[in-house]
Amino acid sequence: MDRKLSKSASADAGDIVTLEIAPAGKDTEPEMPPDLKKALAAAAPKARAVWSDITPNARRDWIHWMTSAKQPETRTRRIKNACSVLATGKRRVCCFDRSGFYSKSLNAPKAAT
C-alpha cells in the first residue's frame, strides 16, 4: 500500500482494514491543447458538434492519441485526421492502444515475499 495512504488510514503492515469503494464522481474535462483548439475552430461544424457531444473520456482518448505522437509532423497529421474523422460522425479513436496512457503506479501490487 502507498505509504501516504497507509499513514492517513493509520494502518501498518499486517493490519486488516476495511475499504469502501465509491464512484470517482463527475468525469473531469481534459485540457485541450492550443493546436487542437485552433484546428477544431477551423474544422467543419459537424466535427465541432461531435467533439462537443462525446464524453470527456472520449475527448481524453483523442487528445492523448494526438499528443502521444513523437514527431511534430505526426501530431499535425493526427490533428488534421481527427478533425476529418470527427466530421464523419466518428466518436472514438480507431486502433488506439490505451495501455501506455495510465500511470505505471496504477499497476497491480507485487506479491509479498
Q: pLDDT tens digits for 17-34?
A: 888 888 877 778 889 999
- Dmax (CA) for the chain in angstroms is 59
CB 63 within 8 A of CB 37: no
- The residue among 108 and 58 whose pLDDT is bigger is 58
Tell me what pLDDT residue 106 has. 45
Tell me what pLDDT residue 88 has. 95
User: How many CA atoms does the CB half-sphere of 34 hold within 13 Å?
Assistant: 0
Q: pLDDT tens digits for 37-61?
A: 999 999 999 999 999 999 998 999 9
Q: What is the reported pTM?
A: 0.65
Confidence label for 101 from pLDDT (cuts 50, 70 and 90): low
Tell me what pLDDT residue 100 has. 60
What distance in Å separates the CA atoms of residue 37 and residue 59, rounded to the nearest whole number? Answer: 12
Cβ-in-10-Å burial (0-12, 13-18, 19+) of 43 comes to: buried
What distance in Å separates the CA atoms of residue 69 and residue 53, rounded to the nearest whole number? Answer: 25
Residue carrying C-alpha cell 466518436:
91
